Amino acid sequence: MKLKLNVNGKSREVDVDADTPLLYALRDELGLKGPRFGCGLGQCGACTVNIDGVAVRSCVHPAASAAGHKVVTLEGLGSSAKPNLLQKAFIDEQAAQCGYCLNGMIMQATALLRKNPNPTEDQIKAELANNLCRCGTHTRIVKAIQRAAKEMA
């Protein structure tokens, strides 16, 4: 089935089954590497994307249900040459160790900052509670989000 998706501000067409997870449409059909496969159950957060500004686990979200909505991946926020403020804050705070969780952390934080531009530390922790990081850089991740919030204000 051909689906039209709005991904990172561009109209894109993918040829997938209606129940194909959005993650596979983004990675396999469109070649985007920001959202990552982690658990396949929507529990770890590595696959998180924003749909209409809301953080969504793309590994359990059918591609067909994203049609007609604005999908933003990590690539849609900025690039390595020109990162957005949140991405830059993650770099400045050295929030990554292995980096596998960063897509989910940044996309979840993007949704948080959209709805709450000045979150408390506890609000940040609550928002990221279901995003797993095996390296344990949570303290730096929280600091990066706080830094970005200050810079965006």
pLDDT at 93: 96
pTM (2 d.p.): 0.95
**pLDDT of 75:** 97
How many other C-beta atoms lie within 10 A of the C-beta of residue 153? 7
Per-residue pLDDT at 136: 86
Mean pLDDT by 10 residues, the chain (153 residues): 96 95 98 97 97 98 97 96 96 92 96 98 97 91 98 93
Written as six digits, the tokens of 15 are 């040829």
Spell out the domains of the chain, with CATH numbers in brackets.
Answer: 2-76 (3.10.20.30), 85-152 (1.10.150.120)
Both ends of the chain: CA-CA distance in Å?
43
Longest Cα pair distance anywhere in the chain, in angstroms?
Answer: 44
